[in-house]
Amino acid sequence: MIHHTVTSGSDRTVRLCHDGRPGLPGPLPQGVITKDGRVHLIGYGRANHAGLGDDDVLLMGFGLPAHDPDPATTGTLTNSKISLHTSTPEPALHGGWNQRMTWARAEKATRVAINSVVFRSSGQNLTTPGTYIKMTSRFLEPALLALGILAVRGRIKR
């Protein structure tokens, strides 16, 4: 599980994710992406706080197109009759991995995920992998939440 957090400075972010905070011991995730784009692997095994945002990272890398494709309309005029055809190309990814892993795209991926959960529609043109990422996360996230509730319940019973 990869985690992103808001702190000042990369070292502080990595330290927070590794050590945790009062009431939530570390490691919080197994890895963290800092604002400078570096990926830090800080743990293995069980993470104490991460997971439901992983689809956002996948959307940033593979699901959000660089821009919404513009529809194109073509037509023919034959004997005073106009025939029009409008088509929209498939959304496509552009640029390398570093160009896709930006804070603007992270914000956009978070909006897509929240809209997808709240309104059951992301309102965003997604690439084909992006569509599958959202469908999978809609299916799995309630199950992961249920497993988390069972884990908390098991700890309370002890």
Q: State the amino acid at position 65 in one-letter form.
A: P
- Compute the average pLDDT of residues 122-143: 70
- Compute the average pLDDT of residues 6-16: 80
Tens of pLDDT, residues 75-123: 888 888 888 888 776 777 777 877 777 777 777 777 776 666 655 555 6
Is the C-alpha dihedral spanning 142, 144, 149, 153 positive or negative?
Answer: positive
What's residue 13's pLDDT? 83
Tens of pLDDT, residues 39-72: 787 766 666 555 555 666 667 677 777 666 677 7
What's residue 29's pLDDT? 75
Asked whether the whole model's pTM tops 0.75, one would answer: no
DSSP, res 37? S
What's residue 56's pLDDT? 62
Contacts 24+ apart (CB under 8 A), 9-18: 10/34, 10/35, 10/36, 10/38, 14/40, 14/42, 17/42, 18/42, 18/43
